[in-house]
Each structure stands twice: as structure tokens, then as C-alpha cells.
Amino acid sequence: MTSILIIGGAGMIGAKLARRLAADGNLDGKAVTSLTLADIAAPPLVAAPFRVDARPVDLAADGAAAALVASRPDVIFHLAAVLSAESETDLDKGYRVNIDGTRALFDAIRHIGDGYRPRVVFSSSIAVYGAPFPPSIGDEFFETPLTSYGTAKAIGELFLADYSRRGFLDGVGIRLPTICVRPGKPNKAASSFFSGIIREPLAGQEAVLPVAETVRHWHASPKAAVGFLMHAGAMDTASLGDRRNLNMPGVSETVGGQIAALSKVAGDSVAARIRREPDPFIQKIVSGWAENFDAHRALSLGFTADRDFEEIIRIHIADELGGTWVK
Amino acid sequence: MTSILIIGGAGMIGAKLARRLAADGNLDGKAVTSLTLADIAAPPLVAAPFRVDARPVDLAADGAAAALVASRPDVIFHLAAVLSAESETDLDKGYRVNIDGTRALFDAIRHIGDGYRPRVVFSSSIAVYGAPFPPSIGDEFFETPLTSYGTAKAIGELFLADYSRRGFLDGVGIRLPTICVRPGKPNKAASSFFSGIIREPLAGQEAVLPVAETVRHWHASPKAAVGFLMHAGAMDTASLGDRRNLNMPGVSETVGGQIAALSKVAGDSVAARIRREPDPFIQKIVSGWAENFDAHRALSLGFTADRDFEEIIRIHIADELGGTWVK
């Protein structure tokens, strides 16, 4: 019997997680009894074999976090964030939502007290790391973010670990690879083009590539990301000790390799829909991002990644395009 | 021509820094024009060849930080903090001063704008690290603090780096070793006994040792710490890039080795004034602390440490005891 709260439930991953929970009816074998979806605007409901409600919430607003956790959900997925490009152009907004909102949530949980100690899954990001990097980033590499988004995620991780250590909550922070392929429209993340160069060509549209093909980056499919969240929501945290934040496993690939995978899966004519148009603003942000990880610890804890970039493309075609694409 | 602000000017290191500036009359060859000492209560003034004033300030209070930096000091030393043991027993107070106060200071600087970009030296701590450790902690080891004090310092480092990267200030964060020998009385830091077991015996008094002699830790004398601050206040930060926070060099020694050094410098009868009285609360905190560092980067940037623990003891005898002790 598990009650679940998803903050950021209107986002792409939050919505997919909600649909997965609705389809499964349980989290790791425990029946889900209720699901609350919260976001800055109330998320759409999902059909499920349990009660689902949707609520608008601004976590950083006075009393909002307390109202949200008053029903004492057993598992809280905190996925809400102002994304990287917007956090860079609007420092105050990014810090307010990504730092103050996260701290307000954790404090609201703490102030319930009375033995309440929910599992809290915090979606962090590989943006906590900043160049220069070793060829493969290990589990004990230091966090020197080069964006205000990454800074806020690193701070959220520190709060999560300290509140877990003090027994106020049972946190698992997962540093998600850049999710690819994101369905829908481009978003305000600087990484948006990584999905665009696969998604738009498969839909018969031109895509803009703002960086060089030599850029290497670290990816996971939406399906893999939902798998990470489900595992983090149910795993035994005793083995984590006080080190609550983990690099998730992923696929390391260059943009050139991603385009080659697209050609192989969907044909050269599809890959030919990518237009090179360098953008110094995006190039500068991306040049500070991690390229490859040795996610040893997460793998040993049972998290599993996509096999390769071709699988990432095939998951998009299967889950979003009904198995076909515009030739 | 340099105007200087020391926040935490009533603390032991802040007061020593003020006296050093007063004695030198300059910072790295630039004449000091004024010195403001701020702390929760107004610090005592020092006699100096430049204007000195003292102000009480609660950095986290509305408008306090803005008032403090309105005169646009060229160099700001931010040393103020609620220490480790008190931060552990009073989470809200520790976070308020150590996180919110630090952020308020940096925001007050940012909001002046108009090209104002002071050097900000932030005293961080090796408490940002948490066990288990490698035999020697390198410059790229991750921060997993095991105290709320260490958590707050790690968060302060992240703010310092982000605000430096965005051009609001020119930050240098220095992770101080545990300062030893602190003059005066025991304080609320869990590390207080490290000084106590040297200071009290030299003064003819009994000292309590709450941990095992096998405990190894990382130290710097007050004199070395003031040297770190002076160097951080004047160094060329171009070589730091966006990695603004540094492990300071120090002396790695066991408690047993420290007691042996005390015997060698001052005699066995002095060392015999140490009484073993294990304290599980202190032992638990200290067991999560770092033992040894490879502070390669700071050394290459010109920071210099004490030679060994005997020198640390001799500095205390020379600077605090007029060259003698109670035999």
C-alpha cells in the first residue's frame, strides 16, 4: 500500500512516470493507493486503478509545500525544475524554484515530524559536473557546475543528503543523463537540440544542429529514466549509507555517432534533414558538459541503462510514433 | 589602495587577520585605506595606520548585508559561521547563518552592480568531505559532508563559484584545515579538543581527550591560516578558472603523534596532563572527518603550510605564551 506524490507531474518524465504507475498499479509489488500530480499548473489526470488528483503548486510560495505533503505520501518524486537555459538567463527565478522550492519541500516534510519519513526521489542532473573532465567520470568526482541550473541541483543534492542523514526523509538523488529522445516540442533546456535532431527528422521536418558533430554527451531514453525513478522509489536505501546521490548509467555518444545511428535505423534521407547552424550561446553551455561516466555504483545497485543510441532511437519510434516514421 | 571588510572579525582568525593587516599596513603591497570589522557583536577595534571601524551585523537579517557592503570594500573576508557542534544541535540556526547569511552577502554584492566586483575570500572547511576516504584526498574528490556545518559550507562554495562565474564577484574559497592551536577557551566546534590537548597542558591545566589516539586529522596553525587568507585576498584568480574552491595545505598527524610532539617540545610532564575520557558524540562526528590531503593545487598556487606538528606547537608558544610554558 503506497501513496505517491509526483512534483513536476506535468513534465514529460513526470507524466510518463504517472502513466507507468497507472499501468502497473503498483510500485515494486506494493499496490498504489493514490497518486497526486503537482506542477506549477495542475497536470492532466491519468486513468488509473487508484485515486488520482492533480494540483497546481508553487513550491517556493509560503505554505505551499506544507499543504502538498500534509497527506503524508509514502513516496515523493521531486522532478520540478526551471531548466538550464532559463536558469542561466533568469538567475533569480532559477534559484527560487530549484533551490528555495526544493528546500521548502524538504522542510515541510521535516516539520510534519511524528515519525513521518517518506522516500524522496530527487531528480538531479549531470549538469552538477563541469569541464575539464577525465575521459570517464567516476562516482567520486567533484561537482563544479558551470551553470546556475547545475549549481542549484548540486545544492539540492546536499540538502537531500543532510536531511536523510538526520532522519527527516529517506532520499535518493539520481543524476539523470540528458534525456533523449524527448517527445513534443523543443523546450528551454540548452540540451533541447539533442532530441530535436532525432525527433524532427523522423517527423519529416528539418532540425537545427547548433554544435559540432564531435560533441560527445551522455544520454538515457525517457523509458530508461522512468525505470531509474521506479527503482529509486522502491530500492533498499541501507546500502547507500550517507551517500545518497548517484550517477545514473547511460549511453555515451558523439553527435556524429547519433546521426549515424539515425541513418542506420531510419535511413540516410531522414538524417539529411539535419541542418548545421552553430550557436555560440548553446555551444558554450554544452562545452562544459560531461561526456562519459563510469556509473559503477548505480549499476551495482540495480539501475539499468539503454543498450546503445540505436536503442534510444527505436524506443522513440515505438513509444511515440506507433512504430513508424516519415521516410 | 585597498579597502577591506572582515565578516567574522571577532573570531580568532578574523582578529588575527586584522592585527596582521594593521601590522603590515598593506595587502600584497597595496596600502590598506580602511578596515571594517563586522560580527554578530561589534568586534574590538585594532590600532592601525588606517581607519578601522567595527559593526554588529546579522548577515541573514533583512537589509543587513546590503548595508555592510554599501561602501564597496575591495576585499571581503567572509569568516563568519555557526560552528560544527552547534550546527548539528540547532539545524535552523546553522543553516540560517551559514547558508542564508552567505547567500545574502553575495546577493548584496550582486545588487550593487555598476561594475562592483570585489575579491571575496570565503572560509570553507574540510568538513565538506565525509568518510569513507582514500588514504589522501585529492583536489577532485567529491563532497559528501556528514555534518550540517559541512553541508552549509559546501553550499556556500557552490554559491561562491556560481557568482564568480557570472561575474558578480571574484571569489576564492579556501577549505581550512582544523586550526590548531586555538588560543583562549574551548569553543562549540566538535574539533575543539584538538587545541585543548596542547593548549591546556602548556598552561599547566588538565585537558580532556574524547577520542582515540589513532585518530588522524589535518591541521594548520592560526599563523598559517592568516597566511592563506592574505594570499587568497591578493592572488591572481585568472589561474583558478571556474574552480574557485581549494583545499589548503596542512599537516596530517595522529592524536598520538600530536601528544608525542608535545612531549618533545615541552616535556613528558606536560603531555601527562592529558586525561582520556571517550565521548561518543564527539567520536562519531570526528570519525567522519578527513585524515590527509594532497593539496597539490593550492601548493602550486603559492599557499604554504606549517612544516610539521612540532612547528604548530612552537607557533602557539611563541605567539600566545611569550615563548614559555608551565613546566
Question: Residues with Cβ < 8 Å from B210, sequence gap 6 or more?
Answer: B193, B277, B278, B279, B282, B283
Q: Which overall architecture, per CATH, does domain B192-217+251-320 show?
A: Alpha-Beta Complex (3.90)
Q: What is the model's pLDDT at position A44?
A: 94
Q: What is the pLDDT of residues B32-41, one digit of tens each?
A: 999 999 999 9
CA B211 vs CA A117, A156, A160, B308: distances in Å: 32, 33, 29, 21
Q: State which amino acid sits at residue A48.
A: A
A282 vs B219 pLDDT, higher one: B219
Dmax (CA) of chain B: 62
Question: Residues with Cβ < 8 Å from A316, sequence gap 6 or more?
Answer: A181, A183, A198, A199, A202, A221
Number of C-alpha atoms within 13 angstroms, CB side, residue B94? 20
Q: Which residues of A touch B148 (CB under 8 A)?
A: 162, 166
Q: What is the model's pLDDT at position B84?
A: 83
User: What are the backbone angles phi and psi of residue B31, rounded to the nearest 5°?
Assistant: -60, 135
Which of A97-106, B82-91, B258-267, B290-299 comes out lowest in average pLDDT?
B82-91
Dmax (CA) of chain A: 62
Q: What is the model's pLDDT at position A289?
A: 82
What pairing do the DSSP bridges indicate for beta strands A216-220 and A251-254? antiparallel
DSSP B193-233: HHHHHHHHHHTT--EEE-S-TT-EEEEE-HHHHHHHHHHHH
- CB spacing of B158 vs A165 below 8 angstroms: no
Q: What is the model's pLDDT at position A83?
A: 87
pLDDT over threshold 80, residue B189: no
Q: Given pLDDT bands bounded at 50, 70 and 90, which one contains residue A144?
A: very high
N- to C-terminal Cα distance for chain B? 47
Joined together, the cell numbers standing for residue B312 give 604548530
Q: Torsion angle of alpha carbons A266, A180, A135, A228, nearest 10°? A: -130
Closest CA to A191 of A320, A92, A81: A81
pLDDT over threshold 80, residue A188: no
- Average pLDDT (A200-205) is 97
The β-bridge partners of A227 are none
Of B143, B166, B242, the CB nearest to A142: B143
Which residue from A minimizes the CA distance to B92? A107
Classified as helix, coil or strand, A254 is: strand
Of B144, B154, B155, the CB nearest to A242: B144
- Average pLDDT (A170-180) is 96
The β-bridge partners of B216 are B254
A241-259 burial: b if 16+ Cβ within 10 Å, else e = eebbbbbbbbbbbbbebbb
- CB spacing of A158 vs B148 below 8 angstroms: no
Of B141, B143, B146, the CB nearest to A165: B146
Instruction: Decide: B166 and A148 in contact? Cβ < 8 Å.
Output: yes
Which residue from B minimizes the CA distance to A129? B142
Question: How close, in Å, is residue A116 to chain B by CA atoms?
Answer: 18
CA B98 vs CA A181, B54, B78: distances in Å: 41, 21, 11
ipTM passes above 0.90: yes
Alpha helices in chain A (DSSP H): 12-24, 64-69, 84-89, 91-95, 102-112, 148-165, 192-202, 222-234, 255-266, 268-271, 280-287, 296-300, 309-320
Q: Given pLDDT bands bounded at 50, 70 and 90, which one contains residue B130?
A: very high
Of A139, A146, A155, the CB nearest to B165: A146
* Mean pLDDT, all residues of chain A: 96
Q: What is the model's pLDDT at position A265?
A: 98
Closest CA to A191 of A33, A109, A84: A84
Q: Tell me the count of A-B CB pairs closer than 8 A.
A: 55
Residue keyed to cell 548585508: B65
- CB spacing of A142 vs B142 below 8 angstroms: yes
Q: Which residues of A touch B130 (CB under 8 A)?
A: 242-243
Q: Which residues of B touch A242 (CB under 8 A)?
A: 130, 144, 146
Q: Which residues of B touch A162 (CB under 8 A)?
A: 145, 148, 151
Q: Which overall architecture, per CATH, does domain B2-177+222-247 show?
A: 3-Layer(aba) Sandwich (3.40)
Q: What is the model's pLDDT at position A284?
A: 87
Q: What is the pLDDT of residues B255-304, one digit of tens each?
A: 999 999 999 999 999 999 999 999 998 898 888 788 999 999 999 999 99
- CB spacing of B158 vs A145 below 8 angstroms: yes
Q: Torsion angle of alpha carbons A35, A165, B159, B294, nearest 10°? A: -140
Q: Which residues of A touch B104 (CB under 8 A)?
A: none
Domain boundaries, chain B: 2-177+222-247, 192-217+251-320
From CA B118, how far away is CA B163, in angstroms rounded? 11
Question: Residues with Cβ < 8 Å from A204, sequence gap 6 or more?
Answer: A273, A325, A326
Mutate to test the interface with A, among B128, B159, B162 (most CBs of A within 10 A): B162
Which residue from A minimizes the CA distance to B158? A151
N- to C-terminal Cα distance for chain A? 47
Q: What is the model's pLDDT at position B44?
A: 94
Q: Given pLDDT bands bounded at 50, 70 and 90, which one contains residue A79?
A: very high
Q: What is the model's pLDDT at position A160?
A: 98
Residues of B contacting chain A (CB within 8 angstroms): 91, 130, 139-146, 148, 151, 154-155, 158-159, 161-162, 165-166, 242-243
DSSP B7-72: ETTTSHHHHHHHHHHHHHSEETTEEEEEEEEEESSPPPP---SSEEEEEE--TTSTTHHHHHHTT-
Task: For residue B131, count CB atoms less than 10 angstroms from its CB and return exposed for 0-12, middle for 13-18, buried for 19 or more.
Answer: middle
- CB spacing of B141 vs A140 below 8 angstroms: yes
Which of A77-91, B74-88, B110-124, B181-195 comes out lowest in average pLDDT?
B181-195
What's the CATH number for A2-176+222-247? 3.40.50.720
Q: What is the model's pLDDT at position A287?
A: 84
Question: How close, in Å, is residue B55 to chain A by CA atoms?
Answer: 29
Q: Which residues of B touch A146 (CB under 8 A)?
A: 165, 242
Joined together, the cell numbers standing for residue A107 give 522542510
pLDDT over threshold 80, residue A189: no
